Amino acid sequence: MDILSFLKESTGRFGPVGYEQALAKWLKEQFEPLCDEVHIDAFSNVIAVKKPTLKPAGGAAPPKIMYVAHMDEVALLVTAIEKDGSLRVRGMGGVDPKIFPAATVTVHTETGGLFGVIGAKPPHLLTEDDRKKAVKFDDLYIDLGMAADAVKAKVSIGDMVTFHGGMVELLNGRAASKTMDDRSCIAVMLDAAQRLQKLQHAAEVIFCCSTQEEVGGYGAKVGAYSVDPDIGFVLDVTFANYPGAKPDSTVPLDAPAPVCGAYIQHKLLDKLRDTAKNNNIKINMELSPGYTGTDADDVQIARDGVPTVLVGLPLSYMHTTVEVVDIETIRECGRLAAAFAADIEEGWDKDLWI
Amino acid sequence: MDLKTLCELRGLSGREDAVRKAVYDVCVEKLGKENVSFDGNGSVIAVRKATDKALPRVMLAAHMDEVGLVAISATDEGLINVRTIGSVDPRVLLSKRVTVGYGDDAVPGVIGYPPIHLQSQEDYKAAPKLDKLTVDIGAKDKAEAEGKAPKGTHISFDTKYTDFGDGFVCAKALDDRVGVFNLLRLLDAPYGGELIFAFTAQEEVGLRGAYAAGYRAQPDIGIALEGTSANDLGDTPDQFKVCIPGQGPCVSFMDHSSIADHELFKLVLKAGEAENVPHQIKKFIAGGNDAGAIQRAGAGAKTVVISVPCRNIHSPASVCCLKDVDNQLALAKATLKHLMKG
């Protein structure tokens, strides 16, 4: 799999939170050549299983390690059609209304996608008062270039609106696109699955592309219940540096960022750090004292509890249409994830709790 | 030369070179090299001689330049600090794509913004300020960023021209490539008097090109072909809507740069009615354009402005109705026809 082509293609695919069905089918096809069995569950999670290549002694069941990265994306939805034919919107997931003036979007209707432009007041007509105000959702409207009657014939309340933001390659192996959150971590899982083709592993490895993370880890909750893993390994993007960031609130773009904190099983994290060290993978530690705001929060408390680690892929400008990641860091995350799976052997949990 | 090609050319005020070359080539092809020249400010001046010297000498003007950004410095982290060229509301810059520099040295960039997750309530409610917005080209440090984008490097919006809706188009720089597009289509317009076609430079930074172009031409009549602000959607009260896309080009009786010659203004309206060209009167006094410079250049001229209504003007995604573009051409032709009638 070529990471850049995967990102270019996958970030342009439709997958708003709760509307991931078509995306799930496509992702299933991406995992099929690399795994033994792939299915889509009732919550549209894609669950791909790679069976162990090493047999445990005494016929014991192999440990199950579950990798999770979410497939859904933040979006907008249509809440009203105005008399002038423009559309009113609200965010699906955490979206900042300030990024939308003069943005272009696709409105997904029953009969297909419509190109739309989000309006911006001309600078010539802005008052001093206007200039001081942040744009709110109430101020936003989508212009479809059609009269109200034509709009009403095509658009329904509740139609999804996705952002435009095709991938651009920047200097130093970085790339910007919409929806790098979290398709870039699905790229990590595909990269890891590819590396595992050449590694021996005693663990059963499950890759889960989860749904509905942007509204609360619901796909991961359901997925972890049915998979019933011994180990959770969650991948999600984390905050990379930006101008004006508070100290300690971000990590650099150029290395994977494993998370430490109460929700993270600390001995499993030590093992992950050993794997990184033994494989010469540079990491930067990140701290989430409690709540991580990722699927890890739900995987950890699935069934009777799952020892879980979380690796952050640093990303600048999260939830905008210009999310920046470092492609080499995606590869390094993939290398770390694959090496960690290969390091899980029989008896991996004997010192886990004491 | 089509509107798509013209809109996608990059030429901020003072660096209109790409547009200038395209315009020059078409003018030379249509009017002959001896009738096309550059003035001291980089405007392209094409002249079509009179067949009837009794008719007024008419200057038709459209500006080649567009608004955008310019690099001023870089942060230690390799992000580019910017200022605007022309009037740009910082609020349209968040989360947009740009091209930094010209020619072989150009690189893509993005304008990021702090993630919503890490904004305090105060940050969330604050309007973005230009000095907090930076262009990210992927540079690792200040030296690399300043190497790629030294102070003064132009940064333009990177927007693909897209047809959408019922005959609408979304692009950067519709202001004033619509005017340039129609000016090129007017090179062979029927008119017996002398025509001076001025493709002006630096309109967005103070009508600089039009002062020189107007002085050199000393026309009897100046007609500026423009793109103007439409503000008709959303919550705008009726009196602030300025004009409505789809209802024809705007004729201005006044804006912030000039008061139209009243007889000429009435002649344009009369011509539109007589030739059945849809048009509207600009309903709000806002903006300014080359007519302000042409009117007062040298010994002065009578001027009027015919504009295509553009939504989201001066943003990466301006919008206009293609029918209005064609009707701007039709209204200019109708006006010339009526000038011949006297």
Give the domains, in start order, of chain A with CATH numbers.
3-73+178-343 (3.40.630.10), 75-163 (2.40.30.40)
Residue B342: pLDDT over 80: no
* A328 in contact with chain B, both atoms CB, cutoff 8 A: no
With cut-offs at 50, 70 and 90, classify the pLDDT of residue A242. Answer: confident
- Answer yes or no: do A322 and B111 touch at CB < 8 A: yes
pLDDT in tens, A78-110: 999 999 999 999 999 999 999 999 999 999 999
Q: State the Cα angle at B283 between B281 and B284, rounded to 5°.
A: 140
Q: Do B98 and B30 lie in a common domain?
A: no
The answer for A 3-62 residues in CB contact with B (under 8 A) is: none
pLDDT at A347 over 90: no
Residues B204 and B247 reside in one and the same domain: yes
- Residue B203 included in any domain: yes
Mean pLDDT over each residue of chain A, to the nearest integer: 95
Cβ distance of B94 and A144 shorter than 8 Å:
no
Domain boundary residue among B157, B187, B214?
B157
Do B100 and B236 have their domain in common? Answer: no
CATH number of the CATH domain containing B121: 2.40.30.40
Q: Helix, strand, coil proportions of chain B in percent (round to 5)?
A: 30, 25, 40
Q: Of B67, B89, B255, B325, which to mutate for an interface test with A (greatest number of A Cβ within 10 Å)?
A: B89
B300 and B199 housed in the same domain:
yes
**Do residue B274 and residue B329 come from a single domain?**
yes
Is residue B164, in this structure, part of any structural domain at all? no
Give the one of B89, B162, B236 whose C-beta lies nearest to A123's C-beta: B89
pLDDT tens digit sequence for B312-322: 999 999 999 99
Does B160 have pLDDT greater than 90?
yes
Q: What share of chain A has pLDDT > 90, as a percent?
A: 89
Q: Which residues pair with A89 in a beta bridge?
A: A78
For B137, the closest chain A residue by CA position comes to A170
Q: Does some domain include residue B265?
A: yes
Asked if A110 is an active-site residue, the reply is: no
**pLDDT tens, residue by residue, B250-294:** 999 888 889 999 999 999 999 999 999 999 998 888 888 999 999
Write out the residue range of the structural domain in which residue B224 sits: 3-66+172-341
| B157, B190, B206 - which closes a domain | B157
**Within 13 Å of residue B200, how many CA atoms lie on the same side as its CB?**
35
Cβ(A275)–Cβ(A339) below 8 Å: yes
Number of domains in chain B: 2
Asked if B114 lies within 8 A of A172 by C-beta distance, the reply is no
Probe site for chain A from B233, B322, B325 (most A CB atoms < 10 A) = B233
Q: Answer whether residue B194 is part of any domain.
A: yes
B281 neighbors B267 (Cβ within 8 angstroms): no
Looking up residue B303, the CATH number of its domain turns out to be 3.40.630.10
In a domain, B337, yes or no: yes
The DSSP-derived string for B291-312 is HHHHHTSTT--EEEEEEEEEBT
> Which residues of B are less than 8 Å from A172 in CB distance?
138-140
* Residue B245 and residue B201 share a domain: yes
Q: Which residues of B touch A170 (CB under 8 A)?
A: 107-110, 136-138
Residues B100 and B33 in one domain: no
Beta strands in chain A (DSSP E): 37-40, 46-50, 64-70, 75-81, 87-92, 104-109, 112-118, 142-143, 160-163, 168-169, 174-177, 204-210, 231-239, 257-260, 286-287, 308-315, 323-326
Same domain, B213 and B336: yes
pLDDT at B69 over 80: yes
Residues of A in contact with B237 (CB under 8 A): none
Asked if residue A59 has pLDDT above 80, the reply is no
Q: Pinpoint the alpha helices (H) of chain B.
A: 3-8, 17-31, 121-125, 142-148, 174-185, 208-217, 262-274, 291-295, 322-341
Q: Tell me whether residues B235 and A168 touch, CB distance under 8 A.
A: no
> What would the mean pLDDT of A316-343 be, rounded to a whole number?
98
| Among candidates B162, B317, B319 on the partner chain, residue whose Cβ is nearest the Cβ of A103 | B317
Q: Which residue has the tokens 């001689």?
A: B49
In this complex, the residue of A114, A134, A147 whose CB is nearest that of residue B125 is A134
Residue B293 lies in a domain: yes
Q: Are residues B183 and B112 in the same domain?
A: no
The model's pTM is: 0.93
Q: How far apart are CA B213 and CA B43, in angstroms?
A: 7
- In this structure, is residue B230 part of a structural domain? yes
Residue of A20, A213, A323, A332 with catalytic role: A213
How many angstroms separate the CA atoms of A259 and A269, rounded? 8
Given B126, B157, B188, the domain boundary residue is B157
Same domain, yes or no, for B225 and B337? yes
A324–chain B nearest CA distance, Å: 8
Asked if residue B73 belongs to a domain, the reply is: no
Q: Which of A134, A141, A244 is nearest residue B114 as measured by Cβ atoms?
A: A244
Q: Do A125 and B284 touch (CB under 8 A)?
A: yes
A153 touches chain B (CB under 8 A): no
| Confidence band, pLDDT 50/70/90 cuts, at residue B237 | confident
Residues B288 and B175: their CA atoms lie apart, in Å, by: 12
B1, pLDDT greater than 90: yes
> Both B7 and B99 in a single domain?
no
Do B204 and B122 fall into the same domain? no
Q: Does A171 contact B79 at a Cβ distance shorter than 8 Å?
A: no
